[in-house]
Structure 1
């Protein structure tokens, strides 16, 4: 199935959202322009509008991730570096920011700059000419300087309704050529020859939101899978330079012991994978007005994928990536 091209704006001039899955990038997520049954007041949007920009960096030796999150009423960030050779989480950092744009800003679309800054921490994700991107991070535990892109296949744009909220939109990238360096207390690690990918998400979400997620990429194929608040809207496979929509995904694992093997498959018989965790980033928080329960195992996927139910299976072996089990009250 070939996806239609992405609209420039996810809300039309008539206030009606353009819902579905598309190939390409949107230039605006103008939720404030929604009209009719989709419209929400400014105060409601302030507390339900959530945005995040997440970048994954994978090289021969390390897997790293950086995220900036705008919760509407406050902001937060996290980053980690995992040593693939000895399964050691070398650095694991998170920090809350101040309300509004005092500490952070997530761009209005995937091609806009996002940043987080405090006295001790600076993070910036920004576009470069030619479809490339730059990530810089300075914090007490690590430093990252990375460039990646351009993507060799289209981005996925997915938009849809969410129960308890209103609407959500997300941009997922395929794997992109990566260069740069990660520095920790232990040593400096090259990212040259690695693979990067990103998740940009922007929506009006429910007060309580939960999901399971899986993502992994090399330069030939990759996938993004979610089960939870957004249904199958963002499920996709990148293969042979195209982005292919996938059906609903099922995550079979033990929530009490997520470091055991995961079994993941889609209902359309286009993907079946087994995930073996090597390590994990975990964070449980309970505040007066918010809470989160989060684990993101780091490991490897093996199994098979295919571009159509009657197409030959493409074997996947030891593809590095992540899964996630996440609940938020925000």
Structure 2
């Protein structure tokens, strides 16, 4: 089968097409005929092997898994002996191992039936980014409507879903983005869009019940200035920082400070769970949230798609189809 593989860490130049064996189905797995895959910043981190901390999990000299891509939508081709939820022909979306290929293996508990209202391309644009946003906004789901939410990096993949989800949960949403993307943030449903180049947002005097930082490098101390007395700060992922630990030290610092203040300060390393995919499927089917696709690339241009992912110009998700 055709696939996009890498044999060393580096830029998108390390990605190249190859003919490889179709993966074998384990007892708890489903084999997917990939119809679409989408890229997110985690794919870039694995490709680059950065920060170096991630190599402790994915391989020191080269990635243990040669085929890139995690977010997927496709048809079930075969199921393992222990799988009862799915059968060949079912249309699903979720996460897998090696989505940039004609076929991929996924654990049965990492995929969910595809909402009928979505195309395969739209469904592939959902899993990791939307689940991360959903988990980051967990406090809203029990707080009720009217909470004030600030989303830093609101025009990014996670931030874009966070804006839509926060509005679906009844929050008053302020999004922070670059000047060129303020209109995009408002189109997602934000009540207010702030230009991060026009002054220091931490000195605005505004206070929020929840601050979701999806793309900044502001210190935990400065972010606390944006919180209400019992507000919550959620730092998503590990972007920024140095090549060794990236931005993970901010999350660690938040956890260390949190016990000594009235606010809740935490980091989030999201894990895609079936229950979250199920929740998102309902919201997608109802139209409460919707994927935004920047561009669809053929599999042969996966390296170009990866470069586009990090050039700062995209609105929504980059999708790849076999």
Q: TM-score, normalised by structure 1?
A: 0.23
Q: Which has the higher contact order (CA 8 A, sep 6+)?
A: 2
Q: Which one has the bigger helix percentage?
A: 2
Q: TM-score, normalised by structure 2?
A: 0.23
